[in-house]
Amino acid sequence: MITLRHLRFLVAVADELSFSRAARRCNVTQPTLSTGLRELEDRLGVQLVERDRRSVVMTALGTEIAARGRKLLTGAQEIEELAAAHLHPEEGDLRLGAIPTVGPFLLPRALTLLRARFPALRLFLREEMTDSLIEGVTSGRLDVALIALPYDTGGLSVHPLFEDGYHLATPPGASAADTLEAGRLLLLERGHCLQEHALASMPTRRLQRDESFEATSLTTLTAMVAEGLGATLLPDLAVRAGVAAGQPVSLTPLPEARPREVALVWRRTSPREAAFARLGEVLCTAQGELG
**Structural fold of domain 166-253:** D-Maltodextrin-Binding Protein; domain 2 (3.40.190)
Dump pLDDT digits (tens) for 119-153: 888 889 999 999 999 999 999 899 999 999 999 99
pLDDT reading at 214 higher than 60: yes
**Which strands, in side-by-side order, build the sheet including 121-127?**
121-127, 92-98, 144-149, 260-266, 157-164
The whole-number pLDDT of residue 86 equals: 63
The whole-number pLDDT of residue 180 equals: 86
Which ranges in 53-126 belong to alpha helices (H)?
Answer: 60-87, 103-117
Q: What is the mean pLDDT of the chain?
A: 90
Average pLDDT, stretch 232-244? 94
Domain pair 4-84 / 166-253, same fold: no
Lowest mean pLDDT among 10-14, 51-55, 95-99, 108-112: 51-55
- Percent of the chain at pLDDT > 90 equals 64
pLDDT reading at 72 higher than 70: yes
Dump pLDDT digits (tens) for 21-56: 999 999 999 999 999 999 999 999 999 999 877 788
pLDDT reading at 85 higher than 70: no
Residue pair 254/202 in contact (Cβ under 8 Å)? The answer is: yes
The whole-number pLDDT of residue 87 equals: 60
Q: How confident is the model at residue 198 (pLDDT cuts 50, 70, 90)?
A: confident
| CATH code of domain 4-84 | 1.10.10.10
The whole-number pLDDT of residue 88 equals: 63
Q: Report domain extents, the chain.
A: 4-84, 88-162+260-289, 166-253
The dihedrals phi and psi of 97, each to the nearest 5 degrees, come to -105, 155
- Percent of the chain at pLDDT > 70 equals 97
Q: How far is the C-alpha of 146 from the C-alpha of 137, rounded, in Å? A: 11
Q: How far is the C-alpha of 253 from the C-alpha of 271, rounded, in Å? A: 41
> How are the residues of the chain apportioned to helix, strand and coil, as percentages rounded to the nearest 5?
45, 25, 30
Residue pair 271/81 in contact (Cβ under 8 Å)? The answer is: yes
Average pLDDT, stretch 57-66? 94
The whole-number pLDDT of residue 263 equals: 97
The dihedrals phi and psi of 251, each to the nearest 5 degrees, come to -115, 125
Average pLDDT, stretch 170-191? 86
More confident: 19 or 79:
19
The whole-number pLDDT of residue 262 equals: 97
pLDDT reading at 89 higher than 60: no
Q: Global pTM?
A: 0.71
Architecture of the 88-162+260-289 domain: 3-Layer(aba) Sandwich (3.40)
Average pLDDT, stretch 258-273? 92
| Beta bridge mates, 263 | 147, 160
